């Protein structure tokens, strides 16, 4: 597997030799000093070019980065399902190489670069042939810090959590496993994760990021809370699913009450009590029940 230095040398050498590539900059986890380095980190690279079309049409040049294992072209895929994408302004190649390295390469015009360059605080300039990049501060993950909830956001999150659980419950009772699992993951977990984010944010005065899809939850939750969070992941056994649901309720309740107290919000005790009772009633229903 090529080292970080070898990869960066390749990325910059290609850009320096190709006249049509005018600017190179990087963002993503490799510019974030708070993220531990490991072998799976992508290289999130932007090439600002004079014209994007030739780079799309003549893709042999991509092999200069290494032997590709697989390449994805998300803009092309989006266009294939009817999503409008302007290839003349931006185009991406996501490349996984046989040695395990990965480059997410975005091509941009200068016009596009001027619109987006200063929008991401995790940006580092690497090459500027035309001296056109505006000055920016050192990279920081401040854009990705957990944001303090508004009262409306808190009310929406708690209401969604307790309301959507009835869909999970009826999916289990009906023996509709895909429906029940998807409802839990897409609604219940979404609300739980939002509350976990806010709780962690409060503990850090909203000065940290929990990572994409909560990948740093384990790092920031106390071990007992993390153990509860782990237990919210169930297999296809309905008894275990019920257990995970009630653990999710316990964890959500605990965290939400802390957030409510810290932010002077009102926790919906009545919704919690009523829906917890409802869940137990559905759990105890016989498979042929005709009445609650």
pLDDT in tens, the chain (292 residues): 999 999 999 999 999 999 999 999 999 999 998 888 899 999 999 999 999 999 999 999 999 999 999 999 999 999 999 999 999 999 999 999 999 999 999 999 999 999 999 999 999 999 999 999 999 999 999 999 999 999 999 999 999 999 999 999 999 999 999 999 999 999 999 999 999 999 999 999 999 999 999 999 999 999 999 999 999 999 999 999 999 999 999 999 999 999 999 999 999 999 999 999 999 999 999 989 998 8
- Residues with Cβ within 8 Å of residue 120, at least 6 apart in sequence: 27, 143
Dihedrals phi, psi of 134, to nearest 5 degrees:
-70, 150
pTM score:
0.89
- Cα 208 off chain centre by: 15
Assign residue 26 a region (left: φ > 0; alpha: ψ between -120 and 50; beta: otherwise). beta
């Amino acid at each position: 597997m090529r080292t970080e230095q070898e990869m960066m040398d390749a990325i910059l050498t290609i850009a320096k030799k190709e006249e049509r590539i005018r600017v190179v900059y990087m963002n993503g986890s490799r510019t974030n000093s708070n993220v531990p380095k490991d072998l799976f980190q992508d290289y999130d690279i932007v090439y600002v070019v004079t014209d994007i079309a030739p780079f799309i049409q003549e893709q042999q040049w991509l092999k200069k980065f290494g032997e590709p294992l697989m390449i994805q072209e998300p803009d092309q895929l989006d266009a294939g399902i009817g999503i409008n994408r302007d290839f003349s302004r931006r185009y991406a190649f996501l490349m996984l190489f046989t040695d395990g390295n990965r480059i997410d390469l975005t091509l941009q015009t200068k016009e596009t670069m001027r619109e987006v360059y200063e929008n991401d605080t995790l940006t580092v300039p690497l090459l500027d042939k035309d001296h056109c990049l505006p000055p920016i501060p050192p990279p920081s993950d401040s854009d990705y810090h957990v944001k303090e909830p508004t009262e409306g956001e808190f009310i929406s999150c708690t209401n969604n959590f307790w309301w959507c659980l009835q869909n999970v419950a009826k999916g289990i009772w009906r023996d509709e496993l895909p429906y029940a699992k998807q409802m839990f993951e897409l609604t219940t977990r979404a609300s739980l994760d939002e509350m976990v984010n806010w709780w962690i944010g409060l503990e850090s005065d909203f000065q940290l990021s929990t990572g994409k899809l909560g990948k740093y939850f384990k790092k920031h939750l106390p071990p007992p809370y993390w153990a509860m969070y782990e237990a919210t992941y169930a297999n296809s056994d309905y008894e275990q699913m019920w257990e995970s649901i009630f653990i999710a309720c316990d964890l959500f309740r605990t965290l939400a009450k802390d957030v409510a107290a810290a932010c002077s919000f009102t926790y919906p005790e009545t919704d919690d009590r009523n829906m917890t009772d409802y869940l137990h009633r559905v759990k105890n229903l016989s498979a042929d029940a005709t009445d609650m």
